[in-house]
Structures are given as C-alpha cells and as structure tokens.
Amino acid sequence: MKKTESHLIFGGCQQVWQHHSNTLDCLIAFSAFIPSKAETEPCPVLYFLSGLTCNEQNFTTKSGFQRYAEELGIIVIAPDTSPRGENIADDPNYDLGQGAGFYLNATEEPWMKNFKMYDYITNELRQIVKENFNTNGKQGIFGHSMGGLGALVLALRNPDIYQSVSAFSPILTPSIVTWGEKAFTAYLGNNKDDWKQYDPMQLILSGKVANEILIDQGLADPFYPAQLKPEMFADACKKMGINTTIRYQDNYDHSYYFIATFIEDHIKFHAKNLSK
C-alpha cells in the first residue's frame, strides 16, 4: 500500500491509501480515518460506501464525520465506488461503468473482469484493514444512494461480518427502478432472478435479517420517490419483522449537505451497535 494523504483533524488522522487490488485487477484508493484512541487500543471499523459518480474523497471531505468518529473512537474506511483506469470498461453515462460499480460482482462482458466490488469490499479490503489498522473485530457499514444500496446488501448477506447498518437516501428496490434495471441488466444479464441477491427489498422478503436498520430520506430529494422507494422497503421490513427506522426529513435533498446534517446520528447509531 502507498499512503497518498495524511491530515490531522479533530485529534485523529485522516489518511488516503492506494493499492493494487487483485480482485479488481487495478489500482484503487480508499480513505481511512484513524481516531487517536487507536494508538493505544483496538477500535471498531465503520465502512462508508458512496453513491454514483463519487470516489473515496466525497464523503471524506464533505460530510464532517471525523469529529464524531474521533469522539467515539471509530475507524472509518471509505473506498472508491468502482475500479478505474484506462484499460477498465466504461460507459459515457454517469450511472454505468467507472464511478458506478453498484457493489456487485458483474457476470457479463465487458464488466466481469474488473467490476467485482462486492468481493473487494467484503473480502480484500476487509483483510487489508485488519492487517494494517488497530481493529477490534467489530464492523459496521453505511452508505449513500447507490452506496446505501450496497451497504444494505452487504449487511443483509453477511450478518456475521457487519453488526450494524444504516443508509442515507438508499436505492431500496433496484430491480424495479431505472437506475437498477440499467445497471443490473448490464452487469448481471437479463435473468431477473440473478438480480435479487443485490436488491435489499428482495433480500428482506427472502428472509435475510439485520438487528436494526436506520435510514434517513430527504423529502426534497429529486430522486424520491421514483428511484428510492422507501415506503415499499418499509412495508417489506414490517412484513418480515425487521426493526427498521426510516426518518423522512422535510426540505432536505440528495446532497452531502443532507448527509452532513445527520451524520452525527448515524455515527452514534453505529457506535451503540458496535459496542454490544
């Protein structure tokens, strides 16, 4: 690994690292906030997955999470959203290709060689974090939009790995909205049964569980309700007995101003669950 940035902030250290990923077959970057507490004792790890067009910098520089992660002693890891590079498949549209990995393992050409963000996050990145940072084995995950979708999918499919999950404005029913239909068709093919493993609502209805889910949704979000469908997800969680809190926030949109406003609540939510 190569450290490309290091900044003191609120007493902790905000870093950016770059490494060659064997899973993605390319160079990839992730940011790592290391609280001062990690200098003397192991800390829990919280992963943040960003949305379409983002990389490891958006959440790191815009959300203000470091103040609360330092106070609560949480290591926070924010990876890029997809493989990148001159030899990596791409698309001219913002919602497919580089910057739009959708946190799945692609099975269709030309994507299947590199677009394996599901395996990268759950296996390779997790091992890198374990080997290089002072962690205590407790792990949570959250994200925004496409990243909220990814966080819920990874948590629901891997409850032994992620003990806590939350999301901002997540894509909750990707199989029936245009963002998801486009990406899933390209990455996974036309068999919609193959899509269900990356669809939070379908995972809930199939019996996957989480101890507790927190979601914040802005009511001035231009992608709500056409792309995000929180009401449908809430109905599925109620039907299956999943403890889910969806907070609808008046006048808030889809931006990082929205995330920055409620990031303290989410960091505290994860700190509570990761301390159990």
Range 10-39 average pLDDT: 98
Cβ-defined contacts of 224-232 (< 8 Å, 24+)? 224/169, 224/254, 226/177, 226/178, 227/171, 227/177, 227/178, 227/179, 228/169, 228/170, 228/171, 228/172, 228/177, 229/172, 229/173, 229/176, 229/177, 229/201, 230/170, 230/172, 232/172, 232/173, 232/201
Question: What domains can be seen in the chain, in order of their start residue?
Answer: 2-274 (3.40.50.1820)
Answer yes or no: 254 catalytic. Answer: yes
At 97 the pLDDT is 98
Q: What is the mean pLDDT of the chain?
A: 98
Answer yes or no: 7 catalytic. Answer: no
Of 145, 164, 166, 169, the active-site residue reads 145
pLDDT tens for 140-159 read 999 999 999 999 999 999 99
Of 80, 199, 216, 221, the active-site residue reads 221
Is residue 203's pLDDT more than 90?
Answer: yes
Is residue 276's pLDDT more than 90?
Answer: no
pLDDT tens for 219-235 read 999 999 999 999 999 99
Of 31, 169, 254, 270, the active-site residue reads 254
Answer yes or no: 221 catalytic. Answer: yes
Is residue 108's pLDDT more than 90?
Answer: yes
